[in-house]
């Protein structure tokens, strides 16, 4: 996936300025920045939930920036949104099978049973309504729902936000497993130390602009970047 020169606005307020980033096949890319800098807005633009004011978005070299969200999903992009946004009046199993889509040829298919193997806690609650799940279980369900689309690129927006430490570790275990299976991920998360452990590269955004890009090794070795762009 390639995002080139993308800008976006809310009304008359320009919030993204010439954003360019890329996620290669099987690559995990961190997308970092303080709150309010444009991370979620960038995810929304990529998914088609907010129209860009300029620039292009390509998947496998084909432009998708003119497509509505459901066609971008069909093309191979899926969003795990901030706040989970599962269907509260559907069961766990219904939340999953409602998003089921066959994998591209040559790729292993995600199905409900495979999601239950990844998250045994969801298997135990397969018949429960979404609004009866804990926050951590809802996050597992949001990830599982996205996996059911068998997307080529997963956009992961603050998947560990608000979770207890043990549940955060469960999410990091899942993301590491997906990396090992060759799943391409663009990940927004504030736990930089953990993200460095699984990501290949990172972008840092500030005030709607990309201000740094580099490898996990580069980010880990230069704490001045953290102080300038990531610390509160």
- HSE (CB half, 13 Å, CA atoms) of 190? 13
Task: State the residue range of the domain holding 86.
Answer: 2-229
Return the DSSP state at 109.
P
The CATH number covering residue 115 comes to 3.40.50.300
Q: Helix/strand/coil (H, E, C) string of 67-80?
A: CCHHHHHHHCEEEE
User: Are the C-beta atoms of 136 and 170 separated by less than 8 Å?
Assistant: yes
Q: What is the pLDDT along the chain (232 residues), one digit of tens a residue?
A: 999 999 999 988 999 999 999 999 999 999 999 999 999 999 999 999 999 999 999 999 999 999 999 999 999 999 998 887 888 889 999 999 988 887 777 677 899 999 999 999 999 999 999 889 988 899 999 999 999 999 999 999 998 988 889 889 989 999 999 999 899 999 999 999 999 999 999 999 999 999 999 999 999 999 899 989 998 6
> Which pLDDT tens digit goes with each residue over 18-46?
999 999 999 999 999 999 999 999 999 99
**Per-residue b or e along 19-45, where b marks 16 or more CB atoms closer than 10 Å to that residue's CB:** bebebeeebbbbbbbeeebbbbbbbbb
Q: Is the pTM of this model over 0.85?
A: yes
Q: How many domains does the chain have?
A: 1
């Amino acid at each position: 996936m390639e995002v080139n020169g993308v800008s976006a606005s809310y009304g008359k307020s320009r919030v993204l300025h010439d954003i360019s980033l890329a996620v290669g096949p099987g690559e995990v890319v961190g997308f970092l920045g303080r709150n309010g800098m444009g991370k979620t807005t960038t995810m929304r633009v990529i998914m088609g939930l907010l129209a860009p004011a300029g620039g292009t978005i390509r998947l496998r070299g084909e432009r998708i920036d003119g497509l509505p969200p459901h066609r971008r999903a069909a093309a191979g992009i899926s969003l795990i949104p901030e706040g989970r946004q599962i269907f509260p009046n559907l069961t766990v199993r219904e939340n999953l099978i409602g998003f089921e889509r066959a994998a591209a040829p040559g790729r292993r298919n995600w199905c409900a049973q495979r999601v239950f193997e990844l998250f045994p806690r969801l298997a135990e609650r397969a018949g429960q309504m979404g609004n009866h799940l804990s926050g951590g279980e809802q996050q597992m369900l949001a990830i599982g729902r996205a996996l059911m689309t068998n997307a080529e690129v997963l956009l992961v927006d603050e998947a560990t936000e608000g979770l207890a430490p043990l549940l955060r570790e469960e999410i990091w275990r899942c993301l590491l497993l997906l990396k090992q299976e060759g799943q391409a991920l663009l990940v927004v998360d504030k736990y930089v130390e953990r993200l460095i452990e699984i990501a290949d590269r990172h972008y840092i955004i500030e005030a709607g602009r990309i201000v740094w890009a580099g490898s996990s090794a580069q980010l880990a070795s230069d704490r001045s970047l953290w102080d300038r762009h990531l610390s509160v």
